[in-house]
Amino acid sequence: MSENFNKVKDYLLDLEYRIVYEDINEELFVIEKEEEGISNVVIDCEDSLLIIEGLLFEMNTGSEEIYKSLLQKNREVIHGAFTIDESGKKVIFRDTLQLENLDLNELEATLNSLKLLLSEYSEELIEFSKA
């Protein structure tokens, strides 16, 4: 278990996230704060990076219009971005941060960005998930 893993865990607890799963060997957490819309967000300590990912929705079939809208919305996202998995059907929020000099404010900013994105863009995301 690395020093960074413990640091990230302390930050998550300071920010009052519930750690619903923890894998010490893989150095990852799954967190939630359902009252703020955060559920099943994976926080993964990978070498020098902290990777934050959360599944937003799955599409039956993607469309050019949906992809275009997601890319345009990326411009407004303060931290992180919309990404699509290899299948092209799962839309994921993802951000990466440097572990070496990570501080509480950086992690909080990423998670706040996700919360803001979910609150401001929820209607569109729900519509996209029906496509």
Domain that holds residue 38: 3-129
Query: Mean pLDDT lowest for which of 33-42, 70-79, 120-129?
Result: 120-129
pLDDT of residue 89: 85
Q: How confident is the model at residue 80 (pLDDT cuts 50, 70, 90)?
A: very high
Model pTM? Answer: 0.91
Residues 6+ away with beta carbon under 8 Å from 126:
57
Q: How confident is the model at residue 63 (pLDDT cuts 50, 70, 90)?
A: confident
Once rounded to an integer, what is the mean pLDDT over residues 65-78?
Answer: 89
- What CA dihedral angle connects 86, 126, 65 and 72, to 10 degrees? -80
Say which CATH number the domain at 85 has: 3.30.1460.10
**Total number of domains in the chain:** 1
